[in-house]
Structure 1
Amino acid sequence: MSKSEEGSVPADTREDIMEATFRALSEHGYSDLRMRDIGEEMEMTRQVIHYHYDGKQDLMSSFLEYIIDQYEGSVEVDGDAPPRKELEVRVHQCLFGPGFEEFSHWDRMKVYHELFTHAQNDAEHRAIFNEHYDRIRGSITEVIEDGIDRGVFRDTDPERAGQLITDIIHAARGRKLSLGHDDAPDQAWRSIDEFVVDSLLADGVEPGADGSDA
């Protein structure tokens, strides 16, 4: 068991280390990143990192979970929100992210995406990304299932629909970050709304009729 898995890192210390890791990754990239680079981004001594983490691999795994938790913990949906509105909120969050005091959503996504591309050669990181993907897809699938139960969405395969939406989100992120297509998130947002969500609506349900802004 790694040091970080034991829950021994105080919350404030962990946040300082994680934010320093983000700044160092943004400047140096994953391949060239050294523990020394992270230490130079902190006011505390570098030995604090070595005390709490068993090297770069352990630190990067903890960092991935930190970034993911930032996003998953910031989704706020009214418990009484109609299914389509909740779906819009979740998709919008995935595409455009929450606000951050330091660095933008896309600054953070750039680091996330770089680590994502390295996951093919890292089983531990791949497992973390797979778990995150499953949680995103699962949350979207649950909304679609609720919409079907409430008669807002037609009877369809919610898991396949949830996977399609999740894959469009991931593809749009990749287009923006890797290919420089800055309009990709907006295009994905409109396409999901027009070609996916509208097609899910049950007969007799008009776009926006369930209280959404469509």
Structure 2
Amino acid sequence: MSESDGQSTPQDTREVIMEATFRALSKHGYKDLRVRDIGEEMDMSRQVIHYHFDGKYDLISSFLEYIIDQYEGSVEVDDETDPRTELDVRIDRCLFGPEFDDFSHWDRMKVYHELYAYAQNDAEHRALFNEHYDRLRESISTVIEDGIEQGAFRDVDADLMGQLITDVIHAARGRRIALGHEDAPDEAKRAVNDFILDSLYPPQ
């Protein structure tokens, strides 16, 4: 709400619609989701959805960008953070998620991965997921490159190492969601620490 006039701003309205979309997707799944279902999760009129979006597909595309932004914008490190600590922060955020007021990280990841599965037949949504994957991989690779330049890490292929870590993250999240292996994120973190991150240090 705007502090000056008590009216909803466009950003407020968008967030209300996005969170309502999340709740509706959690209940109905993507295949059976209707705009009406999203409207039932809002205190606002359903017409506000039609005002802002050209139907279900347009809304889901915006929702994908919204949920991706929640994760990409949630990693904060200062300039003094050493490369290993920054890698730990970034990997932990991907595996264990940020804190949310409503619904857990895994509630949100369940919706994310359902849309991820449908993206194989949807070029536009697949492009969004590819962009997210590339940014995640690049953020990890950049930290590794910085560590190499600082002499903290040995000389390795930072891009390939970043891709490996990103793939482990995706595999662990998929195993947790699809197979119900609740220990998958913790096991993945231990494996990344023991077999990948520890290998970055120069031999003594």
Q: Shared fold (TM-score greater than 0.5)?
A: yes
For 1:48 and 1:156, how far apart are their aligned partners in 2? 52
For 1:127 and 1:50, how far apart are their aligned partners in 2? 25
Partner of 1:68: 68
Amino acid in structure 1 at the alignment position of 2:73:
G
Matched, 1:175 2:137: no
Amino acid in structure 1 at the alignment position of 2:142:
E
Q: Report the Cα offset of residue 72 of structure 1.
A: 1.0
- Corresponding residue pairs, total: 196
Taking structure 1 as the reference length, the TM-score comes to 0.90
Partner of 1:36: 36
Matched, 1:136 2:118: no
| 4+ long deviations beyond 3 Å | none
Deviation string, structure 1 residues 99-151 (Cα, Å, up to 9, x no partner)? 00000000000000000000001111000000000000000000000000011
Partner of 1:162: 162
Partner of 1:207: none
Partner of 1:15: 15
Q: Report the Cα offset of residue 79 of structure 1.
A: 1.5
Report the aligned-residue RMSD: 0.8
Secondary structure (helix, strand or coil) at the match of 2:32 reads coil
Secondary structure (helix, strand or coil) at the match of 2:90 reads helix
Q: Report the Cα offset of residue 203 of structure 1.
A: 2.3
Deviation string, structure 1 residues 53-98 (Cα, Å, up to 9, x no partner)? 0111110010000001111111111211110010000000000000
Partner of 2:84: 84
Q: Report the Cα offset of residue 198 of structure 1.
A: 0.5
Secondary structure (helix, strand or coil) at the match of 2:130 reads helix
Matched, 1:118 2:147: no
Amino acid in structure 2 at the alignment position of 1:138:
E
For 1:10 and 1:191, how far apart are their aligned partners in 2? 44
Partner of 2:5: none
Structure 2 runs not aligned, ≥5 long: 1-8
Taking structure 2 as the reference length, the TM-score comes to 0.95
Secondary structure (helix, strand or coil) at the match of 1:29 reads helix
Deviation string, structure 1 residues 152-182 (Cα, Å, up to 9, x no partner)? 1111100000000000000000000001111
Structure 1 runs not aligned, ≥5 long: 1-8, 205-214
Q: For residues 167-206 of structure 1, what are the structure 2 equivalents within 5 Å?
A: 167-204=167-204
